[in-house]
Structure 1
Amino acid sequence: MSENKDQKAIPIDKLSPKQLIEIRKSLEEEIQVLNQSLSQFKVAISKYEESKLIIRSLEAAKNNQEVLVPITSSLYVPGTLKNKDQVLIDYGTGYYVERNLVQASQFCNRKLEMIRDSQDKLTSLISSKANFLDKINLELQKKVAMMQQEQAKKQ
């Protein structure tokens, strides 16, 4: 916080075209990284939504029911449900916890709420950075137009 006290905001109309181009490049890179993070949030949301659907399907399943167990996204092996009321939840970093279906559903709901909240904040941040980028581009266009007019006057 103390390092920000020494920094002063400079109006963008006071920046040179070179500075505006540097800021534009930096903002474009930031927005690209933030959009990649947003894509990762969408994948995570899809994963937890799918998990909730599977939990609902397990509620209707029966013990000793034949199932196909995914090994990869396109490779399955046959299996049998031993205890359809218990699932293993991946808590991250290789840590798995056995929970009943209600607890598993609650876990998915909490994760979805957390991810969606982060997604909303990130979307807002991307929007504000994009708005600032638009302002930088407009100012840069003005400066370039002014430079072209000055060049035309000199000729």
Structure 2
Amino acid sequence: MRLLGGTSLGRARRGLLDLSGKDVDAFRNQKPFPPPEALAIASAMGLLLQEEGSWKFCRRLLRDQSVLEFLCELSPGNIQADALVKAREALMTGGPKGGPIAESVRACNLRATKALHRWLLRFTEPEGSADGAGAAGGARARPSDA
């Protein structure tokens, strides 16, 4: 895949593609309730894709393993700026006491939680703030989430 490169976003994309189906299923099937970091990631993913920012939407989206490739092919330049801001805000305010989820993600043992969080952080970085923001890449239609 031409989008991986040596940038922080490229490394985050590689992390998504390294996830196995079992990794994704472990994230999707957290019960009885998903922890705050998973809910914040789900919200950010929905907001980024301009869909419902909910756990239900995220679980449905991640049923299709090809969604990881789809996410890796997205380019920040092809996403509306307000969607990027809202998605990042979900990561920065979805943690304990309304703070960032980074500490909870570090304590989590699920590979998918860590990889999705890293990708969302890098993808939503304001342009010019890091080597990964604004990376070139094409977009394609989202895989079916039915």
Question: What TM-score, normalized to structure 2?
Answer: 0.26
User: Looking at CA atoms only, which structure, 1 or 2, has the larger radius of gyration?
Assistant: 1
Higher helix share: 1
Task: Pick 1 or 2: higher relative contact order, CA cutoff 8 A, min separation 6.
Answer: 2
